[in-house]
Structure 1
Amino acid sequence: DILPRSILRGYGKVFYPIGYGADPTGVKDSSAAILNALADAFNVSTGLELLRGVHDLGGVVIDLQGGSYKIDQPIRLPAQGGGNVVITSGSIRASSIFPGNRHLIELWSPSSQNAAGFYYEDITFHDILFDSSFRGGGLYVIDSARIRIENCFFIHFSTQGVLVERGHETLVSNTFLGQYLTVGGDKREKDFTGTGIELASNDNIITDVVIFSAAIGLAIRGQANMITGLHCYNKATYWGGIGILVRLPGNSQTRIDNCYLDYNGIVLEDPVQVHVSNVFFLGDGNIVLKSVKGRISGLDIVDNMFTGSAKANAPIVKLDGVFLNIDQVMVDRNSVNGMALKSTIGKSTVAGNGTKWTIDFSQVLLFPNKINHVQYSFYVRGQSGIPAHAVRNVTGNIVTVESDKAVDGVVSVEVDQYNRRGEISPYN
């Protein structure tokens, strides 16, 4: 007779930690049993490789069978590495003696300490609840390629829900992360700590993810990452929270699109090639440009919606520090309600009798005393003749147009702060 799958160690290429002695009720420590199941799974041989040196394990599955497993030590995947593996369907919870500086599941090989490379590839985590019990983090991925984290739930982390270092192409999708279980308005919010997801690697994709409590929702320290469909209400700006922090000064190369920053915002440190579009900022959430070495290049903040308190009148984009090296910056076409509009483009019209017309763009333009291009039209009402006229001043983001004789004039001016790399404005 075939034994019930609840007590089998494996069936085909499916491995059951319960069969190795794991306790699905969460009463006893299941660390050793899960590690033994992983060891057997990673010893499956197909004779094939994925990336060089990464053994193709042929689609083995670690099936947690809906159990809730308490662990006293991290579940570190076998040191020899491997790929084409699925870990699915259960809950992993840290015990009261779990080390507070580790993560529940760790993809790292001791070889990473000697030489960076790829040791794991095509590992999928699916339908797993990671409960760190305020002792460390949820999932640690290092020197790995093409890792998928799908339909997972991370709670009670004190460091990071997910930490990715080096490696390439980790995909996080349809996943929830929160230090505390809340749907907002939590009395503990000012004390939230930790980071939902931290990406210290390149070419990762975050899609359809909610981060509902943490000091920082998403921290990015790698290049060429793509963020879409992220909802951050992890900690309000009022309490010092940050929704998305991009902190690779001078080399960011990040795309943030179609996200929802809910009472918090985005902080960009010396952003270079960063695109922010179709994002909804609620509750005075805004974008802060933080100067580290004073450089901004290739920054687009376009087609976003900002809603806040008219009383606070917070700017939609704020400068934190001085920027001296600025090129290819576009802030435009943003919808604003109850906040102060900031842009790199200004348009206005002024009318009146006289010889001088002045338009002040200083409250709208993002950068102080910086105008790169000026265009204007001069319309004379009800008079014959054509007066001579010219732009006479653009300092302090204030444009002055003067004529050689008094007329009833309408002056329309458009200015911008956009300059190509190496282009020097003749006005400043």
Structure 2
Amino acid sequence: MAWALLSILAVSVALCGTVIGNVRGLPRADSYREKSFREFQATRYSKPSPFGRMRWSSATSSATAAASKGTFSVLDYGADPAGIKDSAKSIQNAIEDAQKQLWNEPAVGGNVAVSLEGGSYLISKPLNFSLPWNHVVAGRLTFRDGGLMAGWNHSEGYLLQGDFTTVYLESLNLDARHRGGCIDMHTHEQTFIHNVFFSHFSSVGLNIGDGHELLVDECNFEEYAFSEDQRELQYPFTGTAILVGSPDNQFWNIIVKCCKQGIITRGQNIFSGIHLWPNCANFSISDSYSFIAGPETRIWGSYMDGSGVLLTQPANVHITDSWFYGPYGGLTLQLNNTKELGWMHDVIIRHNTFHCHLGCPRLRTLGLEATTKMAVHDVIVRDNHFDNQSLAIGTYAQATHTSTEPGNEFSVDFTGKLLFPVPVQNCHVQYSFQLLTVNADIGTHFMIPSKGLYDVRVFIVAKEPVNGRVFVSVDQSNCTDVE
């Protein structure tokens, strides 16, 4: 019993000493878990990596041994992870060895990887990938975990370029340092870009050439960083974040900001969860369009922050559940037209929010001339929210008119409410008339005078002067001037 009491007393004194030591700022003995973790770090890492699982120190195994496992460390090739010496040749050698193994001796599982080991490397020339899209490769090459920055002697071009079939670019920081672009894909197929930061590109951040089936997600594009000093000055903005020259690609969870041009796509691509903010901090404001899209484009759940979107050929286009905000946060549909005919078909623009306290244009069309004939088929622009309903516009509109005194003519003007300023007799019009005069003998008929292309008024004419209320709806989703 006495020994038990003495043991309890000793433990209490030790705990009090530890508490007092901690209060006085004295070091506390590491717990067993902390001690084990530090020993593990000391054996695996010589310097912590920002990517958390790779090492910076030189590999203990040779490049040949690493290649046998399908992983090529650029440190085994003499690359400098501190970014002091030029590492272009070393990293290029690692890429070429990985490509040779992928072509000639597929690794276990058919995949190989080139690891940057969490370092930040200076390169004086572009790194080339040579996996063309018209060749079938039984495996994937992963290029991952580190940063590349252009040296001041870097030739005007890109950090990465070439053919990227079955290439997986993951967890990279690409800093072009205003010496060109970041990635130039000559060809691609089944390519994946994940968690890549594109910065300081003076030409194009991501230039996508021939091919298809490119997936880009969780990436950030900045020609200039918002947090950079002297951001109140007018920078010479020259860069385009994403230039897409091929179909069948998908982009989601992308941030584009502080650049001259956001996204240009030829069409037949999907964009979801895009935050487009080129005019960050109002020091790159321009009234140009920051998102230019061709036909067969899908834009879902995106935020166009002070950036205009231009649909150059509105055909098979869907834009839904997105937010258009700011002085240039509008959506413009440009008709694909000739001198005689302008057409637009299979367009759905629904459930979007247009917000602009300055009264700027939200939805509009370009390419209409006074002599242009229209051909509109299955164009549905409705159920969108406008912060100022007086500026609401779409292919469907409703209006009412109540007479203040007996009359024969009731006029309802749809100017500014319809997307297409075409004569409404070429579209679907429905109306109803409520007679407010008691015991009146009334026979109404529908009449719309032809007064040119921009006359979008509906006239209801009664046989005798009456008091009444007319309800009119116009649907432009299918209307044409073509006989």
TM-score bracket, shorter-length normalisation: 0.7 to 0.9
CA contact 1:7–1:18 (8 Å) conserved in 2: no
Q: Against the structure 1 CA distance between its residues 405 and 191, is the aligned structure 2 distance closer, same or farther, given a 3 Å change threshold?
A: farther
**Counterpart residue number, 2:422:** 369
Structure 1 residue 143 displacement after superposition: 2.1
CA separation in 2, counterparts of 1:4 and 1:267?
51
Structure 1 residue 177 displacement after superposition: 0.4
Structure 1 residue 369 displacement after superposition: 2.7
Aligned pair partner of 2:367 in 321, 326, 329: 321
Aligned pair partner of 1:70 in 117, 122, 125: 122
CA separation in 2, counterparts of 1:189 and 1:301?
35
- Residue 78 of structure 1 aligns to a residue whose secondary structure is strand
CA separation in 1, counterparts of 2:232 and 2:207?
27
- Residue 97 of structure 2 aligns to a residue whose secondary structure is helix
**Cα displacement string for residues 197-227 of structure 1 (whole angstroms, at most 9, x for unaligned residues):** 1110011001000001211111101x32000
- Residue 101 of structure 2 aligns to a residue whose secondary structure is coil
Aligned pair partner of 1:346 in 393, 397, 413: 397
- State which drifts further: 334-343 or 397-406: 334-343
CA separation in 2, counterparts of 1:190 and 1:256?
30
CA separation in 2, counterparts of 1:60 and 1:271?
42
CA separation in 1, counterparts of 2:366 and 2:60?
58
1:175-324 pair list within 5 angstroms: 175-182=219-226, 186-188=231-233, 191-221=236-266, 223-235=267-279, 238-246=285-293, 248=294, 252-284=295-327, 285-291=329-335, 293=337, 294-309=342-357, 312-322=358-368, 324=373
Letter in 2 for 1:19: D
Please give the TM-score of this superposition, normalised by the length of structure 2: 0.77
1:116-131 pair list within 5 angstroms: 120-131=164-175
**Structure 2 stretches lacking a partner, 5+ long:** 1-43, 45-56
CA separation in 2, counterparts of 1:59 and 1:394?
71
CA contact 1:214–1:234 (8 Å) conserved in 2: yes
Structure 1 residue 193 displacement after superposition: 2.1
Letter in 2 for 1:163: N
1:102-113 pair list within 5 angstroms: 102-108=157-163
Q: Against the structure 1 CA distance between its residues 45 and 229, is the aligned structure 2 distance closer, same or farther, given a 3 Å change threshold?
A: closer
**Cα displacement string for residues 251-308 of structure 1 (whole angstroms, at most 9, x for unaligned residues):** x111111100001120111321111111101113101223563432222221110111
Q: Against the structure 1 CA distance between its residues 386 and 64, is the aligned structure 2 distance closer, same or farther, given a 3 Å change threshold?
A: farther
CA contact 1:56–1:84 (8 Å) conserved in 2: no
Please give the TM-score of this superposition, normalised by the length of structure 1: 0.86
**1:356 paired to 2:409:** yes
Q: Against the structure 1 CA distance between its residues 122 and 194, is the aligned structure 2 distance closer, same or farther, given a 3 Å change threshold?
A: same
CA separation in 2, counterparts of 1:56 and 1:361?
68
CA separation in 2, counterparts of 1:363 and 1:42?
59
**Counterpart residue number, 2:150:** 94
**Counterpart residue number, 2:37:** none
Q: Against the structure 1 CA distance between its residues 382 and 337, is the aligned structure 2 distance closer, same or farther, given a 3 Å change threshold?
A: same
RMSD value, Cα: 2.7
CA separation in 2, counterparts of 1:182 and 1:136?
20
- State which drifts further: 127-136 or 290-299: 290-299
Larger strand proportion of the pair: 1
CA separation in 2, counterparts of 1:225 and 1:334?
23
Structure 1 residue 245 displacement after superposition: 0.7
**Cα displacement string for residues 23-64 of structure 1 (whole angstroms, at most 9, x for unaligned residues):** 111111111000100111111157689xxxxx9982111110
1:13-28 pair list within 5 angstroms: 13-28=70-85
CA separation in 1, counterparts of 2:122 and 2:115?
16
Percent of residue pairs bearing the same amino acid type: 27
Once superposed, which parts of structure 1, at least 4 consecutive aligned residues long, lie more than 6 Å away?
46-49
**Cα displacement string for residues 61-116 of structure 1 (whole angstroms, at most 9, x for unaligned residues):** 1110011001111000136775511111000101112121x2111133xxxxxxxx
Letter in 2 for 1:260: Y
- Residue 350 of structure 1 aligns to a residue whose secondary structure is strand
Q: Against the structure 1 CA distance between its residues 425 and 383, is the aligned structure 2 distance closer, same or farther, given a 3 Å change threshold?
A: farther
**Structure 1 stretches lacking a partner, 5+ long:** 50-54, 109-119
CA separation in 2, counterparts of 1:106 and 1:145?
14
**1:85 paired to 2:141:** yes
Aligned pair partner of 1:390 in 445, 458, 464: 445
- Residue 246 of structure 2 aligns to a residue whose secondary structure is strand
- Residue 41 of structure 1 aligns to a residue whose secondary structure is helix
CA contact 1:46–1:58 (8 Å) conserved in 2: no
- State which drifts further: 283-292 or 172-181: 283-292
**Counterpart residue number, 1:152:** 196
Q: Against the structure 1 CA distance between its residues 189 and 24, is the aligned structure 2 distance closer, same or farther, given a 3 Å change threshold?
A: same
CA contact 2:440–2:466 (8 Å) conserved in 1: no
**Cα displacement string for residues 3-35 of structure 1 (whole angstroms, at most 9, x for unaligned residues):** 962774362111011110111111111110001
CA separation in 2, counterparts of 1:324 and 1:205?
35
Aligned pair partner of 2:101 in 25, 44, 50: 44
CA separation in 2, counterparts of 1:57 and 1:209?
31
Structure 1 residue 238 displacement after superposition: 4.7
Letter in 2 for 1:15: F
CA contact 2:314–2:336 (8 Å) conserved in 1: no
Q: Against the structure 1 CA distance between its residues 56 and 167, is the aligned structure 2 distance closer, same or farther, given a 3 Å change threshold?
A: farther
- Residue 90 of structure 2 aligns to a residue whose secondary structure is helix
Structure 1 residue 338 displacement after superposition: 4.1
**Counterpart residue number, 1:116:** none
**Counterpart residue number, 1:332:** 382
CA separation in 2, counterparts of 1:191 and 1:77?
31
**1:5 paired to 2:27:** no
CA separation in 2, counterparts of 1:408 and 1:425?
38
Q: Against the structure 1 CA distance between its residues 32 and 394, is the aligned structure 2 distance closer, same or farther, given a 3 Å change threshold?
A: farther
CA separation in 2, counterparts of 1:77 and 1:205?
22
When Rg is computed on C-alpha atoms for both structures, the one with the higher figure is 2
